[in-house]
Amino acid sequence: MHKDNLYATETSKSNKNFVKDLATVAKKSGLIIHNEDKMEMAHSFSSHGMEVADDFDLHMIQVCNPAKAAKSLSANPERAILMPKFIMTFTKNNKTQIRFLRFSEDNIRSVVDDDIFPESLAGTYKKIVEIIEEAKSC
């Protein structure tokens, strides 16, 4: 049985450069950054009047395959609860930290009563990890 898993890695690339490379690599795989205009949390917080430190660089990056998501959600709207897939990036100890939470097929099944979705979503999680790894090294 596979358990939920926090994928954690880092790169010596700046957060800004990693995010740029991530978008490029994701696009080759049919994925997009869905929230590009809102992923920089410093900007998001400041737009609501909140102050953060000048070096606060947390990015909450939502990746999406619009064609696959539209088809999947049309087949079963219950899937929506697990559809947002976020990669978190931030700087710590002069390196860009990368975090991605993925769920086990068993836990996906426990949330969404669906025979096809758990395996499909697990495949998407695997693809996202591959994209992260490629973006780190390009």
Residue 37's pLDDT is 82
Other CB atoms within 10 Å distance of the CB of residue 34: 18
Structure token pair of residue 109: 């099944």
pLDDT per position as a tens digit, 52-101: 998 999 999 999 999 999 999 999 999 999 999 999 999 999 999 999 99
State pTM to two decimals.
0.91
User: Residue 3: pLDDT above 70?
Assistant: no
Domain 5-137: which CATH number of 3.30.1330.60, 3.30.700.30, 3.30.310.70, 2.60.40.10: 3.30.310.70
In the predicted model, what is the mean pLDDT of residues 41-56? 91
Q: Where are the domains of the chain?
A: 5-137
